[in-house]
Amino acid sequence: MAHKVEVYVQPGCADCRQAEEFLRELGIPFESYDVTADPEAYDRLVNRYESRVTATVVIDGQVFRGFGRNREAIARALQD
């Protein structure tokens, strides 16, 4: 089953870069949104996903705030 994966990032964010690299290594397609350049993405991040953290990874509507501390949970969510 293909997952809908979104990653909310900002320039210079090491956690963001690691999240994107992790997904690429797993061969998972994802949409990346720079919240500093895309006001609509920032609005979704804050209001829909109730996050002010980058990287925020959203998998099929499940929100993971921060990559480093959620790496294993993200991997598990992608296995389902």
Mean pLDDT of the chain: 96
pLDDT category at 80 given cuts 50, 70, 90 is confident
For residue 1, pLDDT over 80 is answered with no
Q: How far apart are CA 24 and CA 32, in angstroms?
A: 12
Q: Under a CB-based contact definition with an 8 Å cutoff, are residues 45 and 1 in contact?
A: no
Question: What pLDDT was estimated at residue 2?
Answer: 85
Which tens digits make up the pLDDT trace of 7-38?
999 999 999 999 999 999 999 999 999 999 99
* Domains in the chain: ranges and CATH: 5-79 (3.40.30.10)
Which tens digits make up the pLDDT trace of 46-76?
999 999 999 999 999 999 999 999 999 999 9
Q: Which of 36, 39, 34 is nearest to 7 (CA)?
A: 34
